[in-house]
């Protein structure tokens, strides 16, 4: 059991607007800053997907700012920026840096993160990264067109490879390198805080599963972003300093011989996916932790198999580092290596299945309350199953030869890494909003938002599997290049219409969010009758969370429906003698 003086040091609340809200050292303000950044980025990324769906359904349609319709190179720039913004600026920041920053210290009983200045720096570095990334839209040639995976040598040889591959691509690499720095700072902070600042009595096996998820995600970030940073620097050197890490000799484009030799395009893929696969778990693990937490809270029942859940998350994190080659079965990598990666990848289905069984086990025998956060957590489970099972096809070398780089892959990762993770974020917003803003969000608008989004995402991504099975390659601006693609046009139109409805539904969320900050019903200190430490402090919590005290912790995080006890929940901080008998 760890205790630390840091847990009780009360720091003075800063005076003045700038110290309080802009360059703040308070983990709660920084958490809100991250969530705002992610919210802004999510709407930009969603707007790009709207334009992409327009192009795919009606390729020649003229639009404002696109007098000739969206051109293929503009479509590909949108593909690249949509993926980059969503993966880095939304899925990596909101669940981990946003909610993690705000709630990890409170849930473990600490006054702040271990390194508040580092915390502030990591947010401002992330914002800088976002600004540099967005600048790529506005430079000559526009944003890069190589996809978020920026495979070399397309991304390494400059403007000659296509529009956006000049300055736009350079800005992309710089932005991502900056982002890696920010994530590394955040990861160190999360790890140190979890290990050192736990309150008296908060043993590891009493931690809420949200804290376990943030902690494990931080460890993954620390190991993965360092590799991407190195890869990004090498790519930048190839582009600007004449090195040839990723560029082999004798490349000829538009009759010009590229003055590089000796590099390996596959090296980039290895480095990128060594980061890229763990990144999938960086996006989804916090959602898994939160789903467990919320399912338990609203079924009024302890988490089924708490230790198994911790074990499953840890093994997902470990296995996540040794399966990156399944992105590269047809890359030209040795087929023997592909064989090994395939079997390892199939085994990652095991901890994922354990989690699903345990979620169902948590609900089984419960007293399920259908609040908006609970609906999103239930949606998360359904989407996680649907999106996860298609992974079993792609993990098999022989089947992947057909499905690789088709829409089947796009459908798979959107369901599991995109939409399921986004459902995790929505769960967090609806669940913690009362604590963060002291007011409730509208339940009616929340449920409307849930239904439109849940039905909408299935309507978009289920049909997408079928055009993938029919062999439709991804990242195609339209189907004009092959006769068999034309027969799939009606499916594209259907998916686009479903996407417009789903996107429109997000404005209900945005309105509910902004309206409730000022006009929502006042929230009690513990409106959900939850057990963890954040529900024992005022809404919103004061500057130093626990008013200079270290809250003693008496039990695990999920004591619901304990026999012989009057209430159907006992808070972690309630001393045994204060628990009312039935």
Partner 1 sequence: MGSKKGNTGSAATATTLALFLVALTVFTVYIFVAKPIWSWFPPAINEIGHEIDRQFMRTLVITGVVFVLAQFGLAWVVFRYRTRGQRATYSHGNNVMEVIWTLATAILFIGLGIYAQRAWAEVRLKPAPPDAMRIEVIGQQFKWSFRLPGPDGKFGKYKFEAHPEQEFTRDPWVVDADDPDGKDDVILGPGSVFAVVVDQPVELLIRSKDVTHSFFVRELRLKQDAVPGMTVPLQFTATVPGEYQVVCAELCGQGHHLMGTFMKVLSREDYAAWLKDMTAE
For the bound state, the minimum distance from the C-beta of residue 416 to partner 1, rounded and expressed in Å, comes to: 13
Place of tokens 């460890």: 219
Smallest distance from partner 1 to CB 419, Å: 14
Ranges assigned E (strand) in 173-263: 252-253, 256-257
CB of 100 to partner 1, least distance (A): 26
The vertex-530 CA angle with 527 and 531, nearest 5°, equals 145
Residue 521 has a CB neighbour count (10 Å cut-off) of 13
304, 292 Cβ separation under 8 angstroms = no
Instruction: Report the SS3 class of residue 581.
Output: strand
- Of 470 and 493, the one with the shorter C-beta distance to partner 1 is 470
Minimum separation from the CB atom of position 141 to partner 1 (A): 12
Q: How far apart are CA 380 and CA 336, in angstroms?
A: 36
DSSP for residue 324? G
What minimum distance in Å lies between the beta carbon of 319 and partner 1? 12
| Least distance (Å) between residue 122 CB and partner 1 | 32
DSSP 565: B
Provide the token pair at 75.
């479509």
Q: How far is the CB of 299 from partner 1 (least distance, A)?
A: 6
Whole-angstrom Cα distance, residue 106 to residue 440? 20
Beta carbon nearer to partner 1, 102 or 450:
450
* SS3 at position 421: helix
Nearer Cβ to partner 1, position 369 or 522? Answer: 369
CB nearer to partner 1: pick between 188 and 333: 333
CB of 374 to partner 1, least distance (A): 9
Q: Which is nearer to partner 1, 105 or 163 (CB)?
A: 163
Least distance between partner 1 and beta carbon 73 (Å): 4
For partner 1, the closer CB: 21 or 311 = 311
Task: Give whichever of 164 and 551 is closer to partner 1, judged by the CB atom.
Answer: 164
Between CA 137 and CA 525, with CA 513 as vertex, the angle to 5 degrees is 135
For residues 307, 414, 450, 490, the Cα torsion angle rounded to the nearest 10 degrees is: -150
Residue with Cβ nearer partner 1 (152 or 531): 152
Length in residues, the chain:
582
User: Is the Cβ of residue 213 or residue 218 nearer to partner 1 in the bound state?
Assistant: 213
The strand pairing partners of 253, in sequence order, are 256
Q: CA of 279: how far to CAs of 219, 319, 413, 486, in Å?
A: 12, 12, 12, 35
Maximal CA-CA distance, the chain:
85
Residue 209, both tokens = 């599963």
Q: Using a CB cutoff of 8 Å and minimum separation of 24, what contacts does 509-515 make?
A: 509/426, 509/445, 509/449, 510/39, 510/43, 511/445, 512/441, 512/442, 512/445, 512/446, 512/449, 513/39, 513/429, 513/433, 513/441, 515/442
Q: How far is residue 332's CA from residue 324's CA, in Å, rounded to a whole number? A: 15
Give start and end residues of each alpha helix (H) in 416-487: 420-437, 443-469, 483-486
In angstroms, the CA 369 to CA 355 distance is 21
**294 to 95, 353, 380, 402, 429: CA distances (angstroms):** 14, 19, 11, 39, 12
Instruction: Kindly tell me which of 162 and 181 has the beta carbon lying closer to partner 1.
Output: 162
Smallest distance from the beta carbon of 398 to partner 1, in angstroms?
A: 4
- Residue whose CB is less far from partner 1, 363 or 523: 363
Cβ 537 to partner 1 shortest distance, Å = 21
Say which residue the tokens 């804290």 belong to.
211
* Closest distance of CB 496 from partner 1, Å: 17
Nearest CA-CA partner of 31 in 126, 133, 109: 126
Q: Which is nearer to partner 1, 154 or 223 (CB)?
A: 154
- Minimum gap (Å) between residue 253 Cβ and partner 1: 5
Q: Compare residues 98 and 305 and give the one whose CB is closer to partner 1.
A: 305
């Amino acid at each position: 059991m760890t205790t630390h003086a840091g847990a009780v040091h009360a720091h003075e609340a800063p005076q003045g607007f700038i110290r309080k809200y802009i360059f703040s050292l308070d983990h709660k303000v920084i958490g809100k800053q991250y969530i705002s950044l992610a919210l802004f980025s999510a709407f930009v990324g969603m707007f790009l997907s709207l334009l992409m769906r327009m192009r795919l359904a009606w390729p020649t349609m003229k639009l404002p700012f696109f007098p000739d319709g969206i051109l293929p190179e503009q479509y590909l720039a949108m593909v690249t920026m949509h993926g980059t913004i969503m993966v880095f600026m939304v899925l990596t920041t909101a669940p981990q840096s946003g909610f993690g920053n705000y709630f990890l210290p409170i849930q473990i009983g600490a006054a702040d993160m271990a390194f508040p200045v580092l915390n502030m720096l990591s947010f401002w570095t992330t914002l800088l990264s976002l600004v540099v990334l967005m600048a790529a839209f506005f430079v000559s040639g526009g944003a890069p067109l190589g996809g978020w995976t920026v495979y070399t040598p397309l991304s390494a040889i400059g403007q000659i490879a296509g529009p956006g591959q000049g300055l736009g691509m350079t800005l992309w690499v710089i932005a991502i390198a900056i982002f890696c720095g920010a994530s590394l700072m955040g990861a160190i902070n999360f790890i140190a805080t979890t290990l050192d600042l736990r309150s008296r009595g908060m043993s590891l096996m009493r931690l809420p599963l949200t804290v376990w998820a943030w902690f494990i995600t931080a460890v993954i970030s620390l190991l993965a972003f360092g590799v991407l940073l190195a890869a990004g620097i090498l790519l930048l050197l190839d582009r600007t300093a004449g090195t040839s890490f990723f560029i082999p000799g004798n490349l000829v484009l538009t009759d010009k011989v590229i003055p590089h030799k000796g590099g390996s395009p596959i090296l980039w893929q290895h480095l990128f996916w060594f980061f890229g696969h763990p990144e999938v778990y960086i996006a989804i693990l916090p959602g898994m932790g939160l789903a467990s937490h919320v399912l338990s809270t609203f079924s009024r029942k302890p988490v089924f198999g708490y230790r198994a859940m911790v074990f499953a998350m840890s093994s997902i994190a470990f296995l996540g580092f040794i399966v990156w080659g399944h992105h590269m079965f047809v890359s030209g990598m040795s087929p023997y290596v592909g064989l090994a990666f395939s079997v390892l990848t199939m085994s990652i289905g095991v901890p994922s299945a354990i989690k699903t069984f345990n979620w169902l086990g948590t609900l089984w025998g419960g007293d399920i309350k259908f609040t908006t956060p609970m609906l999103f957590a239930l949606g998360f489970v359904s989407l996680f199953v649907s999106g996860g099972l298609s992974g079993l096809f792609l993990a098999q070398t022989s089947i992947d030869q057909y499905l690789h780089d088709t829409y089947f892959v796009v459908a798979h990762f959107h369901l599991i890494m995109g939409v399921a993770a986004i459902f995790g974020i929505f769960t967090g917003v609806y669940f913690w909003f009362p604590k963060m803003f002291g007011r409730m969000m509208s339940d009616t608008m929340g449920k409307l938002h849930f239904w439109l989004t849940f039905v909408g995402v299935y309507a978009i991504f289920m049909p997408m599997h079928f055009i993938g099975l029919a062999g439709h390659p991804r990242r195609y601006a339209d189907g004009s290049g092959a006769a068999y693609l034309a027969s799939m046009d009606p499916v594209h139109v259907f998916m686009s219409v479903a996407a417009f409805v789903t996107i429109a539904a997000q404005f209900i969320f945005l309105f509910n969010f902004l309206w409730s900050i000022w006009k929502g019903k006042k929230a009690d200190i513990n409106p959900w009758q939850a057990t963890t430490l954040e529900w024992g402090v005022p809404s919103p919590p004061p500057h130093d969370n626990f008013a200079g005290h270290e809250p003693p912790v008496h039990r695990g995080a999920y004591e619901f429906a304990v026999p012989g006890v009057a209430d159907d929940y006992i808070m972690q901080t309630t001393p045994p003698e204060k628990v009312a008998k039935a």
